[in-house]
Amino acid sequence: MCGIAGFLIFDRAASASQKTLKVMTDILIHRGPDGSGYWTKGPVALGHRRLAIIDLNTGQQPMFYNEGRLCITFNGEIYNYLEIRDELLGKGYSFLTNSDTEVILAAYAEWGTDCVNHFNGMWAFALWDESNQRLFCSRDRLGEKPFYYAVTNNTFIFASELKSIFVHGVPKIINEDMLDTYLCLTYIPAPYSFYKNIYKLRPGHSLIVENGAIRDQQYWNVEFVPEKDAIKDEKQIFTTFEALFNDAVRLRMRADVPFGAFLSGGLDSSCIVAAMSKVSDLPVRTFTIGFQDKQFDERPLARLVADKFETDHRERIVVPEDLNGLIEKLAHCYDEPFGDSSALSTYLVCRMARETVTMVLTGDGGDEVLSGYTIHQGEKFTQKYQKGPLLLRNRLPSFFKLAGKVLPGTLGTIAERTNKVLAASNLDFIDRLEQKQSGLDKDLRKRLLNLQNGNFVSAAAVIDDMLLPVKSLYNFGKLNYWLTKNSLPDDILCKVDRVSMANSLETRLPFLDYRLVEFLASVSMEVKLKGYTRKHILRETLGKELPHKLMKASKKGFSVPLQMWTKGGESMGRIMEERILTVADAGLLDRQAITQLLLRAKNGNTGLDNSLWVLGMLGQVLRNN
């Protein structure tokens, strides 16, 4: 796990500046505190910051191969590098190191740009092919590792993080077309960034830069099998899943440094720990954070798992004082607006884990591949609900809306939720998906964007564009495509990568082994989501080994008590208000609408905490600019 940066000047007679390369690379020292490397030759420059995990003594980069004709800067891990190495040894290749980096170089020498189809891992790399005067860049299938790039002044520039692009001299020009999308999704989806002329390489894609041109090629995609053709044999599914999962965990435990696992108290991370415990000679080191508010505190559940599998368990409780300066740190981590508030708790658990280990396994990705979100349940309900009489479907939401206003207490709350579910089920898929995103609701966004007089690129249009490749797919397949290809890499994986690397910690995600992802994309919805039970496959396999109390617990994840922390008058509340007013001062959003929103929050209106956080993080990024 490392940081990479570099550039290629399209003029072959030009000489790349090593001074510029060093500044670009060293600003990423948090991603690689164990070493650095800088290489320039003519118009090309490759830089590297190293976090040593495998082959601690001979894995330095940039690394050369084939008598120096190939050179690479690489971020990530190729988990099956030993198997590929053996295959290449059989073909007559030789190796000077025990690193996965050298395996990538030899694989390229053998298979060319098709080498990425042989890798099982996470990666972002740039490989210079001297013989062909070609820069080959690639990002892993699911997007675990980041790759930003820009073209300016006849130069192709790339890096692990935006800050490196900026110090090269690319200007920070806000892409206002992404405002509504950010406010809706709470992140900026690839290939876009928050800045004009700077892009994210999409997961499963490579770039070939040669002869002054850039060619984007997709080398992998996940194909969601139509329900009529999907695998439905539960015995076969359970056997195949368990074998693939255990192998994914085994491969990700290859390391030459101390490692452990995040343990949130949820199903996914608990199954990771269970699988690790089977093959580890030593107690697995586990890390949990908790909160004083019991509603968000999963420490008791995590302890059940830690006790059962006899882990070396560490936990820490988060108090408001831990948040001092964290808003500024998070904005610096992401370099662009990122409004997923669970980044707070993820940052803190990464900081705690790094005190004793250099790498952890996490349960991220389990919800996406195993149908673990409530939105999966909602989509399945919608599929059935829309088969009902139209007259009834038109009237039911109004009935429950009225009931929510007149019924007391819990009954009223249940009626209000039912109204929202039924109303959403009457929408078309794009509108329903937009409504269920975690950002601001559509009406509030329209008021905030009033300065644009409605002339802005809508989030719905961006979502629609992202789903064009699966326009003819059934709705449940479209949902899984959206989660896997968009919200997973640009929200979940982006969140984990930036805050883990800010703490010089590597994270590995067994649920995102591409073999597992491809297999589960071929499994019937009726098995993944049996009835309305989420993660049925996991529950019926590894879940059987977990404490019964955990299996019955409601889903929490690394959610945080945001409402308490952003409460008006508290220190965090004041900080967030200052940041939100920065957005108004910048003229990006309507000041009157912002003032009204803050007033509602001060008057005790509930349910605004997430909106305040999303806007506050936007304001903090603007301050950093």
Residues serving a catalytic function are: 2
- Cα distances from 323 to residues 108, 563, 580, in angstroms, run 45, 14, 18
Strands (E), 276-367: 285-291, 312-318, 359-361
Q: Which one-letter amino acid corresponds to residue 6?
A: G
For residue 92, give the amino acid letter: G
User: Pairing between strand 259-262 and 44-50?
Assistant: unpaired
DSSP state of 139: E
Report angle CA 368, 370, 374 to the nearest 5 degrees: 70
Which segments of 53-197 does DSSP mark as H helices, in order?
81-90, 100-111, 162-168, 179-185
The answer to whether 45 and 7 are in contact (CB under 8 A) is yes
Torsion of CA 521, 260, 55, 365, to 10 degrees: 20
Inter-helix orientation angle 591-602/609-624, to 10°: 130
Can you state the angle between helices 234-252 and 267-279, rounded to 10 degrees? Answer: 70
Residue 315 pairs in a beta bridge with: 288
What is the enclosing helix (H) or strand (E) of 591? helix 591-602
Q: What is the DSSP letter of 37?
A: E
Peptide bond into 171 cis (omega under 30): no
Residue whose pair of structure tokens reads 């644009």 in the numeric block: 452
Residue 471 exposed, middle or buried by CB count within 10 Å (0-12, 13-18, 19+): exposed
CB hemisphere CA count around 78 (13 angstroms): 25
